[in-house]
Amino acid sequence: MNHPQPSTSSRWPSSIRALRHRNFRLYFVGHAISTLGTWVHMVALSWLVYRLTDSAALLGITTCASLLPQLFVGPIAGAWIDRHDKRRLLILTQSLLGLQALLLALLTYSGHIGANLIVLMSFVLGVLNAVDTPLRQSLLSRFVDDVDDLPNALALNASLFTCSRFVGPPLAGLLLGMTGEAVCFALNALSYGALITGLLAVRMSAGVRANGSMRSVFREGLTYALQTPSVRGLILGVLIVNITASSYAVLLPVFARDIFAGDARTLGWLWGAAGFGSLLSTLLLAAHRSAEQLQRLIIATAGASAVALLVFAASTQLALSLTAMAVLGFGVTINNVGTNILLQSQAPEVLRGRVVSLYTSTRFGFDAIGGLLAGLLAARFGGPWAMQIAGALLLLYCAWQLLAQRRSARQQAQAQAQASKAH
């Protein structure tokens, strides 16, 4: 790692201090364009599925196909990532993602797209993302020259996703109304070129690589995660939040059309409201926070997400539902991004790819399982019931966490009291 650059730090406010590093700026601009294209793609795909099939179950299956590979491929990909040059790998995965989006655009434009092809293309996307996501996350520490700026870089990186989530869905709704899904997929294919260009301009060494066989490298990362209580607890929290709260994404087309009698623009507004909440959360996380503060915030916002799920499920008023979506987007992002910040701040660099891959595989893999279950429940009982079940389960988890924290606090107080008596 290079030495810090204190001479330039004063030019940048504390909330965006990671942008003082040239390599991170190049990555940031390229990834901003690419992420906007990704959100346009995601909204267009969900609308295409529901327009062609009228099936809530297929929405869940498509989401599952795009995310489930993270659960199985992600941990193995982490060991592979730590053994190779991460920048070159990222250029390769971004190129393949662009080709996948272009092929989907051509299939849609030609009228050859159908349910089976959509699921297949979503699965291909999921396999590529299972490598690309932990690869990008683990490279962030290399783009900043001062390790103290890493939490800010992680928060700013997340803000790209949330800003695009705020802008992308309404833009997708507008494009869908004016053109069609194929144009949205083609624009996404073009957007990957921006990040590839930025990566080609980055100046950095290959970095530290893990030694040993794939099996031994994988086992080393898994052992670290399982035997470190703080890492184990954070991963469990990500699992619960994403199998429950994140499942709302699958059901939004159902609510947009069937509950609010809307169209693609209504879907864009619902996505945009959740994106607005996510944007606020990343702005909050960009400010310096201690690990203890962040831990408390993660639990509190998980509870807020549970309440937002229940409110959204019961609401028939679009304004109230948009508010609930904003709260939900805020809570889910605090949990996911906050956990990522804590994990990457703790992990040794040589293990970072594997730790991040375990985090991303849990986040997106159980998001996929939650989406599949939500789609199946919605097909059987309706969208509101599916969301109510998810909210109730998340609320139970939060109650259990609060009880566990109080029990731990009492045990610590008793131990301190006994220690003082002994003296």
Report yes or no: 138 and 353 within 8 Å, Cβ to Cβ.
Answer: yes
Q: Does a structural domain hold residue 391?
A: yes
Confidence bin at 150 (pLDDT 50/70/90): confident
Report yes or no: 297 and 285 within 8 Å, Cβ to Cβ.
Answer: no
Q: Does a structural domain hold residue 411?
A: yes
Find tokens 């291909």 and name the residue.
Answer: 124
Containing 350, the helix (H) or strand (E) segment is none
Per-residue model confidence (pLDDT) at position 307? 94
- Calculate the CA 394 to chain-centre distance: 18
Measured CA to CA, the distance from residue 231 to residue 50 in angstroms comes to 38
Is residue 155's pLDDT more than 60? yes
Based on its alpha-carbon atoms, the radius of gyration of the chain, rounded to whole angstroms, reads: 21
Q: Collect all residues with Cβ–Cβ distance below 8 Å to 82 and sequence separation of at least 6.
A: 138, 209, 210, 217, 221, 350, 351, 352, 353, 354
Q: How far is CA 137 from CA 106, 287, 352, in A?
A: 30, 19, 9
Q: Does a structural domain hold residue 4?
A: no
DSSP 10: T
Is residue 6's pLDDT more than 50? no
Nearest to 132 by CA among 88, 90, 190, 82: 90
Q: Does a structural domain hold residue 240?
A: yes
DSSP 149: G
Residue 393: how many other CB atoms lie within 10 Å: 16
Q: Rounded to 5 degrees, what are φ and ψ at 110?
A: -80, -10
DSSP secondary structure string for all residues of 71-98: HHHHHHHHHHHTTS-HHHHHHHHHHHHH
Average pLDDT over residues 25-40: 91
Average pLDDT over residues 274-289: 80
Please, what sign has the CA dihedral across residues 16, 18, 23, 24? negative
Structural domain containing residue 379: 16-201+211-422
What does the pLDDT look like over 87-116, one tens digit per residue? 888 999 999 999 999 999 999 999 888 888
Q: Does a structural domain hold residue 330?
A: yes
- The domain that holds 353 is classified in CATH as 1.20.1250.20
Find tokens 């992420």 and name the residue.
Answer: 35
Measured CA to CA, the distance from residue 263 to residue 315 in angstroms comes to 18
Q: Does a structural domain hold residue 8?
A: no
- Write out the two tokens for 30: 């390229």
What does the pLDDT look like over 177-236, one tens digit per residue? 888 889 999 999 999 999 999 999 988 766 666 666 777 878 888 888 888 888 888 999
What total number of domains does the chain contain?
1
Per-residue model confidence (pLDDT) at position 320? 92
- Alpha-carbon torsion, ordered 230, 235, 238, 239, to 10 deg: -140
**pLDDT > 90 fraction of the chain, expressed in percent and rounded:** 26
3-state SS class at 208? coil
What number of residues does the chain have?
Answer: 423
Per-residue model confidence (pLDDT) at position 1? 44
Measured CA to CA, the distance from residue 3 to residue 147 in angstroms comes to 10
Nearest to 126 by CA among 43, 63, 57, 45: 63
Average pLDDT over residues 35-47: 88
Confidence bin at 19 (pLDDT 50/70/90): confident
Measured CA to CA, the distance from residue 410 to residue 134 in angstroms comes to 38
What does the pLDDT look like over 254-280, one tens digit per residue? 888 888 878 778 887 887 888 888 888
Per-residue model confidence (pLDDT) at position 246? 82
Angle at 238 between CA 236 and CA 240, to 5 degrees: 70
Average pLDDT, the chain: 84
Q: Does a structural domain hold residue 7?
A: no
Per-residue model confidence (pLDDT) at position 208? 64
- Write out the two tokens for 190: 């073009």
Q: Does a structural domain hold residue 3?
A: no
Measured CA to CA, the distance from residue 39 to residue 329 in angstroms comes to 14
